[in-house]
Amino acid sequence: MRLHASPSLIALSAAPLVVNSLQLPFGIDIQLPAALDNHINSIKSSISQIQVPAFINKIIDPTGSSPLLSLHRDLVAIPSVSGDEEHVARFLSSYLASKNFKVELIPVESPEYPKKRFNVFAYPEGGSRSAPILLTSHIDTVPPFIPYKDGLRTVYGRGSCDAKASVASQIIAVEELLAQKHITEDTVSLLFVVGEETNGDGMRHMNTLNMRWDAVIFGEPTELKLAVGHKGLAMLEVEAKGRASHSGYPNLGINANSHLINALYKLDNLKLPSSDLLGNTTLNIGLMNGGVAANVIPAFAKAEVAIRIAAKHFTDVKVLVEDALKGIEGVEATWKQPHYDPVFCDHDIEGFETIATSYGTDIPNLNGQHKKYLYGPGSILVAHGDNEKIDKSDLYEAVKGYKRLVRGILNAKAIVVADPAKSSETATPSVEVVVEPSVQVVEVKVEKVEIPEVPVKKVESKSDEEQVEYVTILPVDAVYD
Ligand SMILES: *[C@@H]1O[C@H](CO)[C@@H](O)[C@H](O)[C@H]1NC(C)=O
């Protein structure tokens, strides 16, 4: 149904507005009852078809009237569990095309995923496919899909944090940098890949395309801090073999559980290397399995161990683990694939707090000599849970953060923006040539960390609970009577 705007309808929609919740001093989101929520949504959607002044729109539909929040909403609303990323890729492609980007949908084929899948690569119209700075993140999510839900100050849904928050804020950051002429069209490109949550096939596919960048900004939840790096990962399977027998006659059998316990005790107490930057190497005995019943000597036992590596290389830990297990009878340890070395990131841009993370990213999957930055909104602690969420204020902060990173990279490292007219050198991958003529160094001062704006009104509260920055105004009861 299409509503026609009439003065009385506008009056109806605008006049009976009350402040439903100005300050929530305890950082709690009010969860409206579903019936009320639906009612409000239907009112919102009716109202959205009426031409109303922009300021009213901002009040009644804060998400729809924000380019950032609405892009984020549209991304989260599309299910894109790894292997099933076609729809979100096509959505992004048309979104970016509508914002004057040249877009390439790059097919990614994997035997384990039969559906069509695409990486989305884009650069500003009039720019260059070989722009020196790449902003990248991933469009796949872990399962299961969780629908988008708009709270007062927080957004819920699968991928709302990991990593569609990064995707949306990277795109808006680039749009703003271009609009404000802080960068030229040939400075940055965008890449959103499939398969990050599983085997990294989307990012690894990029290695076959003969592309290179000077600096790559990877978007993952880092709590708006610049990552110094992340730990490596190795997974170990420890198996013990014995011989079954009646528990009353243990001398006739060989107890596989006992062997496994010996091995795991050694591993659990192993002194593993640590690093100033990444912290301690940690070892988790995550799964144990052995035996069939209390009165049977177990013939077989098995454990799975994950090691988060803070040494320089996987091999530093591998040697220690294999040494520890050497003397132990009856066990066999196998390293499982995939494992990856610790990743050390560049963090030479001022104005950011730093963080060491303990989760895997696509960083090791992209070959090349580029500088590597890792930054994004949200916390990994909620990323894969059933309550995945992101604060709206974090999305806005991330846009500022990505802009600062791009400008900081340009400023600090005097990155050369290649002249598209002289694109002959783009074909040859990175020989260390100092390019003189087409240097375009954008001189910007690295800004200080910006502190979120103080809320309009302050509530006196005894505790130091955080202040709410979002004000939502909802229609009064009279409207739904
Ligand atoms: C690293 O291990 C040491 C010794 O086991 C411990 O005292 C320290 O708190 C650990 N550091 C971190 C960051 O967990």
Cβ of 27 closer than 6 Å to ligand 1, yes or no, is no
The response to whether residue 461 sits with its C-beta less than 6 Å from ligand 1 reads no
232 residue type, one letter: G
Q: Rounded CA gap, 43 and 37, in Å?
A: 10
Cα(280) to centroid(ligand 1), Å: 6
Q: Residue 7, SS3?
A: helix
Q: Whose CA is nearest to atom 2 of ligand 1?
A: 280
The answer to whether the CB of 272 falls within 8 A of the CB of 266 is no
Whole-number Å distance, alpha carbon 343 to ligand 1 midpoint, is: 20
Can you read off the two tokens belonging to residue 74?
């549209």
Q: Determine phi and psi for 14, rounding to 5 degrees.
A: -90, -40
- CA atoms of 324 and 76, how far apart (whole Å): 46
Helix (H) or strand (E) holding 427: none
The CA 321 to ligand 1 mean position distance, Å, reads: 19
Rounded to the nearest angstrom, the distance between the alpha carbon of 274 and the centre of ligand 1 is 9
Give 83-109 as a DSSP string: T--HHHHHHHHHHHHHTTEEEEEEE--
Q: Determine how β-strand 232-241 pairs with β-strand 133-138.
A: unpaired
Is the distance from CB of 107 to CB of 117 less than 8 angstroms? yes
Element (H, E) at 368: none
Helix (H) or strand (E) run with residue 409 in it? helix 392-413
How far, in Å, are 59, 143, 295, 326, 414 from residue 403 at the CA level? 27, 31, 65, 52, 16
- Which residue is closest in CA terms to ligand 1's atom 1? 280
Residue 280 Cβ inside 6 Å of ligand 1? The answer reads yes
Beta partners for residue 188, in sequence order: 133
Reading the chain (481 residues) residue by residue, the pLDDT tens digits are 333 333 333 333 333 333 333 334 444 455 566 777 777 777 767 766 667 777 887 788 889 999 999 999 999 999 999 999 999 999 999 999 999 999 999 999 999 999 999 999 999 999 999 999 999 999 999 999 999 999 999 999 999 999 999 999 999 999 999 999 999 999 999 999 999 999 999 999 999 999 999 999 999 999 999 999 999 999 999 999 999 999 999 999 999 999 999 999 999 999 999 998 899 999 999 999 999 999 999 999 999 999 999 998 999 999 999 999 998 989 999 999 878 889 999 999 989 999 998 888 999 999 999 999 999 999 999 998 999 999 999 999 999 999 999 999 998 754 544 433 333 333 333 333 333 333 333 333 333 334 344 444 433 443 433 333 443 333 333 333 3
Q: Where are the beta strands (DSSP E) in 22-175?
A: 101-107, 118-124, 133-138, 149-150, 154-156
Instruction: Note the pTM of the prediction, 2 decimals.
Output: 0.71
Q: Of 5, 17, 148, 20, nearest to 79 (Cα)?
A: 148
> DSSP state, 446?
P
Active site residues: 196
> Around Cβ 416, how many Cβ atoms within 10 Å?
18
Residue minimizing CA distance to atom 14 of ligand 1: 280
- Alpha helices (H) along 255-391: 256-268, 314-326, 380-383
* 343, 316 contact by CB (below 8 A): no
For the chain, list the domains and their CATH numbers: 7-61+454-480 (no CATH), 67-229+344-426 (3.40.630.10), 232-341 (3.30.70.360)
* C-alpha–C-alpha distance, residues 378 and 365, integer Å: 23
227 neighbors 302 (Cβ within 8 angstroms) = no
How many angstroms is it from 7 CA to the middle of ligand 1? 67
Residue 137's beta-bridge partner residues? 192
Q: Which of 228, 270, 280, 355 to mutate to test the pocket of ligand 1 (most atoms within 8 A of CB)?
A: 280
Tell me, in angstroms, the distance from the centre of ligand 1 to residue 282's CA.
Answer: 10
> Is the shortest distance between the CB of 279 and ligand 1 below 6 Å?
yes
CA nearest ligand 1 atom 4, residue: 280
Q: Which residue's CA is the closest to the ligand 1 atom numbered 9?
A: 280
Q: Which token pair is 271?
A: 């002194």
CA of 80 to the centre of ligand 1 (A): 38
Going from the C-alpha of 77 to that of each of 39, 85, 164, the distances in angstroms are 20, 13, 10
Q: How many CA atoms lie within 13 A of 224 on its CB side?
A: 20
> Of 399, 402, 404, nearest to 448 (Cα)?
404
Burial class of 288 by CB neighbour count within 10 A (0 to 12, 13 to 18, 19+):
middle
- Nearest CA owner, ligand 1 atom 6: 280
State the closest ligand 1 atom to the C-alpha of 280, by its place in the atom list counted from 1. Answer: 1
275 lines ligand 1 (CB under 6 A): no
Handedness of CA 220, 221, 226, 228 (dihedral sign): negative
**Facing residues of 215 across strands?**
133, 371
Ligand 1 centroid–CA 106 distance in Å is 44
Residue nearest to atom 8 of ligand 1 (CA): 280
Residue 49's closest CA among 3, 114, 87, 90? Answer: 3
Beta-carbon-side half-sphere exposure of residue 268 (alpha carbons within 13 Å): 10
Q: Which atom of ligand 1 is nearest to the CA of 274?
A: 1
Residue nearest to atom 5 of ligand 1 (CA): 280
Which of ligand 1's atoms lies nearest the C-alpha of 279?
13
| Span from the CA of 278 to the centroid of ligand 1 (angstroms) | 11
